[in-house]
Structure formats: structure tokens, C-alpha cells
Amino acid sequence: MTTPKPTTGLDRLRGLQARGLLEKDHPTVAALLADEALTDTDLLRAGRLLAGLDHDAVLTHHPGTPVVTVAVTGQSTVGRVLDPLRAELARHGLLLRATVGEHGTYVRDLAQPQGSYDLTLCVLDAETVFSEVPVPWRAADAERATTEVLRRLAALAGGFAGLLVLNTVPLLRRYTHQLVDHASRAELGIVWREFNAGLLRLAAAHPAVVVIDLDPLIAEGGPAADPRMAAYAKEQLAAPLLAAYAREVGHLARSLCGRTRKALVLDLDNTLWDGILGEDGPEGIAAAGTLRGEAYGGFQKVVKQLGSQGVLLAVSSKNDEGPVLEVLRGHPDMALRERDFVSVEAGWRPKDGALARIARRLGIGADSLVFADDSPAEREQVRLGLPEVAVVPLDDEPALHVTRLLRDGWFDTLTLTREDRARTGQYRGEGERRALRERAGSHEDFLRELRVGVELGPPRAHEYARLAQLTQRTNQFNLTGLRLRQHELAAVPLLLAARSTDRFGDNGLVGAVAGRYADDGLHLDNLWLSCRVLARGIEQACLSALLAHARERGLPAVYAGFRPTRANARARDFYPSLGFAETGHGGTEGEAVIFRHDLGVIPAIPGHVRIDATQLGSGKDGG
Amino acid sequence: MSPDSLGTLDGFLRLVRDDLGLVTDLAGPEAAGCDLTDLPGWDSVNLLRLVTLLEQESGRAMPVGRILEARTLGEIYALVEDLR
């Protein structure tokens, strides 16, 4: 007798395809691909299957589905990257629209105007260099070729419009060992590392360039190339390496779409320490001093490292709260302490509810959470109850916790800002604000006592990275869904940054305005405000200041647009609430709603907000 | 996929259909004799995928150069058969 194999996410995906429901049920695809039972090969199969997806039909059923446009080019055959890339993007709820260049055409491809692609992947391999090295050759010939390739890429990167994704290039034994003496071999090794370092430096020099380092991917398990595929099909990077590369590109695409996760919620027993607190007692658990304990301690340090870079840490544990807090405060083994967490949910209720409470308390969506737990039952409960949460499967092998946690780069971001590093402190200030809110009689009382100060003005030189990040991470109060990268900010005619403070501290750069002056008035192309400071009157204060400024300048009107996205529905009435009138839908932009303010009655700046400084620019010449 | 899925032409064609995602109504000798480029949904990367797939399924190294030169699924199946 055979027991039937359990139905996997891939089986169910095939079922959807067979019944013609892939497009209609597209929002479930990401959850099906999150099935822990799927192997890497299954994921490739899913990517193949999704090649048949009718994008137009998906977008008809679900107009908000983000589409990522990708151009793929390279020296060699790289078409095989598409299946894994399609699957990786689908895991994050993104649709892939890709075009692939012929092999050997990367220089031509990159020199053409790129405007319409979100990402351009230029896949580099050893042949990119060695196709320019004569036979016979010496290390100095390789150096000439690497210098030339670097020079060419730097020139292409200089005028690049979209985001150009390059990669470091694996050095293969079939090249090093063509040189029989160790001195020459070492020389080639140096040339090659300098080539890769030069590639990595391109990213520092050009904001439009990202370089994916293949070394750590190969270190997880090669080989980097299949000589047969290289010889017969010009496929210079092995298919599994291309798949690992696609996974990294998926993380990048996710962060470009504003889907970088913001908080990591951790179980405790057998996740952060060895043992079960409720059964073994504080003396019976370990995160140091024993072999397994050390492994848990190592995991705690990695979690702390993530926390230091702006990832908010929280706990969801089936335990009594008292003993948990005692351990976090006083147990000698802990690398993580109570102050490292912005929220500790210890109790006996289901974890999906605990995660929802954590998200609410932090003012972020459940789709910003990552949840790590060693218990399959708890993971399943969260997956079913709160499917937007990304779930990291841990098990009873703590030495693998770090690998599993980092496997998906859930928190990957293009650049890290000063605000990121201070974020945990800011959210802890949030706890004090919450206490004030509970003490205060009404929301108005709370706001009055909060003593909000706002400063609105042109960005300072060091603020551009944070501004770009704000546009990419802000979903709820992003009035058109627009996201800008750092190098695109310079092209915005009127760009303003909003910084806020309150009695509990400095909130840093929390908002942005993109606009332009035209003959018919001031056009506000978009507003962004961090969800951390929503509903404190900051958005109203900034708008009032802008309207007053426009009237002072004698402008005829202020125009503003709103385009619904999956997350900004609550901001739909923002402009009307300040006296803007709807003037219709904007021509080609389909669903955008255009508002106009005639500057007759300017809404007052909310009484509890202190505008500390405003500098709104003097027109087309900025200032 | 069972270990003997490559043991018959039908098993081989099923593998091609399911794992390469080729949508074809053709079956048996008709599919096997059809020129690869005439198969609906065929693209140049499919041959590379097929080689990887066959190596995974059979656990043996495939004659990559010869497979890449094949014009029909039948020719590829014959190459796989030769290895058995």
C-alpha cells in the first residue's frame, strides 16, 4: 500500500493552471510558493509554469499587482536566469516582465537607451574577460583585458538611466591552472581580485549600479560553471548559480517595490535559546556554555546585528510574561536584552494574533513582518492566520538558524541611513508616546502634550539617501505610489524634506514633497510621510504651509494628484479634507485623481504643531 | 517523477511536458517525430533545461553536445536510451 504524497504548493499551482485560474487567483501564488516542502527544483518548475501567465489578465483581475521590468544581457547565454527569476519575484508577489539579449551583445545592449526597465541585469562571467585575451597568454594579458572591461562598464554606468545590476566574476580553475608556475598563478589571482574589487567600487561611484557578489553564493556550494554547457551553449555560469543569483535579484526587486520587511519577530524556546523555559526553568536553558547553547548564542548575535541596522526586533513566545522578562533582563547567557526588542508578546494566545498586535503597535503592516520559529505547528498557524507574514523555518539544528534566517535577505535594502541605525531607539520612544496617549484624555490632549515640531525645507546634502529610502519604504501615506531612487531625486524640480521632533526626541526625516512650479500654479506630484508619525497633524501642517506659501507668491492655484495603490486607501480624502476640489481623472494616467486648491481659504496649521522653519523654494530656480 | 520515468517514450514525453511546461497535444510517436522548433512554446533555452532535467532524473551524465544537436524529441530519447 502506498500513502498518497501530500499536496505541495507546486501541485496546487499546477491545479490552478489546469483549471485556468492562475490569473484570477494570482494573489495566492506567493503563499503557494512559500510552502516549506518545495525544493529548489520545484521552484524552477514553478518559474517555468508561470512563464505561461497572462499578465494582462492578472492585472485586469488585480490592478495593483506590481510589475518589475527587467532587461537581461551578458557576454554569455543567460536565458536560463528567467525561470528562477520569475519564481523568485512571484514569491514576493511581483510580476516579471523580461527581455533577454543575445549572448555577446551586452555592450550594445547597455549602450542603448534603457529608460523603460526597472532593472538591467548585465551578467558577467570569466569569458567576458577571456574573450579578449590572446592565446598564448600571461597574467599581464588578463590584466589588460580586465582593465578594458572595467573601463567599458564604468563608461556605460556613467550615463545609465535605470538600475544596472552587475556581478563579481568567479575565477575558474580552468584558467588559473593554464599557468603552470605558482608565481604567475598568484599574479592572475591578484589581477582577478582587483578586477572584482573594481566592479564592486563601480557601485560606490555610480548610484545607478548595484553589484551582486557571487563569491558568497558559490561558497554555499558550487560549481560556478558547467564546462559542457559553456562549450556547447555558451552558458558560462552554471544553472544553480544563476538560480542563486536570481534569488538575490528578487530581494533587490522587492526592496525597489517598497516591500523590504521591517521587523523580525522571534520565538524564544529552541529559537533564541536551548531548552523550554516553562519546563526547564531559567537555569535549564542555555545560549552559551554548552555546544548547542553556543549555537543559539551565535544566532542571537546575528539577530542583534540585524537590529543594529534598523530591523525592528520583537518576541512572540508561548510563555508566561514574567519569567520571559526575567531571562531577557538578567540571564547571563543572553546576547539579546529587553532593550533590543521593541515589543515582547509572551502569553498563550495564538501567534497570528500576537503578530497582528505587534504590527499594529509598530504602525506597520503585517506584510512588513518576518517570523522565525522552530515549531512547524506555530509556523503553519501564522501562515494560515496571517499569510502576509514571511515565515522563516527553523528546526532543532541551531547551527543552521543563521543560514536559514539570512537565506532570503528579507531586510535587504539599497542603502542604509543614519535613521535606520537609530530606528529601534525611535520605536522605543514610541512606547513612551503610547503611554502618553493612554494617559491623555483625548487624541487632541495627546497631540498637545506631544509638542510636535516640524521643519520643512530643501534636503541637506546628507539626506538624499534617506529621502530615496523614504519614498521606497512608504506605502500607507504615499499618495501616488511613486518611488524614487537616489540619483533620480536630483531631477525633481521642487523637492522638500520634512523633519519632525516631539518631547520624546527627534524623529528625523519623516516626510517628503515632490513638486514643480508651472504657469498655472504649484503642482504637488507626490507626498510621502512615514507611518511612524501619521495622524499627528504633520501632514496637514506641511500642506497648510505650502498652500500659504503659494498664496503669498500670488500663484493661481495648487494642484495635487492621488493614485490608489494597495496600501494608501486611507489617504484618499487627504486633499479634500484641506479644501482641495476634485477636478477629474488625469488623462493617460488612468486612475489618478487630480485635485485643485483655489487658495481662497487656507486651512490653519493645526494648533498643536509648531512649524520651526520653512523654506519652500522660490520657484524654478529653487533657493 | 518516479525513477523509471525515462524508461518509456511516454514517460520521457511526460517529463518534457510537465517539467519543461511545454503545452502540446501531441503524444507518442507523433510528438517524438515533430521538429523541436515546431513544438508550441519551444525556445532555445529548453534544450539546456532538458539536459539538466535528464541528468537529474537519470543520475547520469548526458552527451550534451549531441543532445544540443538533436532536431526532435525522438532523437533525444534515443540518446538517453543508448545510455541505459
Q: How many CB pairs under 8 A join A and B?
A: 40
Give CATH 3.40.50.1110 domain extents, chain A.
66-256
* pLDDT band, very low/low/confident/very high, at A588 (cuts 50, 70, 90): very low
Task: Say if B49 is an interface residue toward chain A (CB within 8 Å).
Answer: yes
CA distance A340 to chain B (A): 46
* Domain encompassing residue B53: 3-83
Residue A606 confidence (pLDDT) above 50? yes
B41 touches chain A (CB under 8 A): yes
Which range has the worst mean pLDDT, A41-45, A327-331, A421-425?
A: A421-425
Other C-beta atoms lying within 10 Å of the C-beta of residue A433: 21
Complex prediction ipTM? 0.85
Q: How far apart are the first and last CA of chain B?
A: 18
Q: Say whether B21 and A232 touch across the interface (CB within 8 A).
A: no
Give the one of A80, A82, A232 whose C-beta lies nearest to B64's C-beta.
A232
Closest in A49, A231, A235 to B21, CB measured: A49
Contact B21/A235, CB-based, under 8 Å?
no
Cα distance from A279 to chain B (closest Cα, Å)? 44
A41-50, A240-249, A365-374, A565-574: least confident range: A565-574
CA distances from A393 to A22, A154, A270, A271, A413 (A): 27, 41, 12, 10, 22
Q: Which pLDDT does position A584 carry in this prediction?
A: 78
Q: Which of A48, A77, A228 lies at the smallest CB-CB distance from B21?
A: A48
Task: Say whether A80 and B48 touch across the interface (CB within 8 A).
Answer: yes
d(C-alpha A469, C-alpha A443), whole Å: 30
pLDDT band at A1 (very low <50, low <70, confident <90, very high): very low
Task: Identify the bridge partners of residue A263 per DSSP, sorted by sequence position.
Answer: A312, A369
Q: A475 vs A117, A263, A304, A388, A559, CA distance in Å? A: 22, 15, 26, 15, 21
Is the separation of the CB atoms in A617 and A458 below 8 Å? yes
Residue A140 has pLDDT above 70, yes or no: yes
* Residue A168 confidence (pLDDT): 98
Location of each CATH 3.40.50.1000 domain in chain A: 263-406
CA distance linking residue A40 with residue A412, whole number of Å: 21
Show residues of chain A in contact with B41, CB under 8 Å: 52
**CATH topology for A418-614?**
Aminopeptidase (3.40.630)
- Examine the pLDDT at A589 and tell me if it is beyond 80: no
Q: Do B48 and A51 touch (CB under 8 A)?
A: no
Amino acid at A412: D
Helical spans, DSSP H, in B1-84: 9-20, 28-33, 45-58, 64-69, 73-83
CATH of the domain at B45: 1.10.1200.10
**Contacts with A18 from chain B: Cβ below 8 Å:** none
Domain A66-256, architecture per CATH? 3-Layer(aba) Sandwich (3.40)
Mean pLDDT of the residues in chain A: 90
Instruction: Give the best-scoring range by mean pLDDT among A62-76, A321-335, B28-42.
Output: A321-335
What is the chain A residue with the closest CA to B49? Answer: A80
Q: For residue B20, list chain A residues with Cβ-Cβ distance below 8 A.
A: 48
What whole-number distance in Å separates Cα of residue A357 and Cα of residue A227?
53
Q: Return residue ranges of chain A for CATH 3.40.630.30.
A: 418-614
Of A77, A79, A239, the CB nearest to B52: A239
Q: CA distances (Å), A268 to each of A347, A386, B43, in order?
A: 12, 20, 49
Q: Establish if B75 touches chain A: CB-CB under 8 angstroms.
A: no
Worst-scoring range by mean pLDDT, A102-116, A510-524, A534-548? A102-116
Chain A contact for B59, CB < 8 A? no
Nearest to A48 among B20, B51, B64 (CB): B20
Residue written as grid cell 523654494: A617
Q: How many domains does chain B have?
A: 1
**Do the chains contact at B19 and A231, CB–CB below 8 Å?**
no
CB < 8 Å to A83, chain B = 49
C-alpha cell at A166: 552587475
pLDDT at A622: 38
Enumerate the residues of chain B whose CB falls inside 8 A of the CB of residue A52: 21, 23, 41
Q: Please report the pLDDT score of residue A613 as a whole number.
A: 67
**Inter-chain contact B47–A228, Cβ cutoff 8 Å?**
no
- Kindly report the CA angle at A376 between A11 and A274, in degrees rounded to 5? 150
- Could you tell me which chain B residue has the CA closest to the CA of A47? B21
Q: How confident is the model at residue B1 (pLDDT cuts 50, 70, 90)?
A: very low
| pLDDT > 90: percent of chain A | 69
Chain B partners of A233 at a C-beta cutoff of 8 Å?
Answer: 47-48, 64, 68
- What count of Cα atoms within 13 Å lies in the side-chain half-sphere of residue A444? 2
> Least CB-CB distance to B65: which of A51, A79, A232?
A232
Q: Is B56 on the interface with A (CB under 8 A)?
A: yes
Cβ separation of B45 and A51 shorter than 8 Å?
Answer: no
CATH fold of A263-406, please?
A: Rossmann fold (3.40.50)
Q: What Cα–Cα distance (Å) separates residue A603 from each residue in A138, A546, A571, B64?
A: 74, 11, 17, 73
pLDDT (tens digit per residue) in A351-410 = 999 999 999 888 889 999 999 999 999 999 999 999 999 999 999 999 999 999 999 999
**Beta bridge partners of residue A529, listed in sequence order:** A511
Per-residue pLDDT reduced to its tens digit, A291-310: 999 999 999 999 999 999 99
Amino acid at A245: Y
A259 SS3 class: coil
Q: How far apart are CA B56 and CA A327, in angstroms?
A: 49
Examine residue A223 and say whether the peptide bond preceding it is cis (omega within 30 degrees of 0): yes
**Which residues on A lie below 8 Å from B43 (Cβ)?**
79
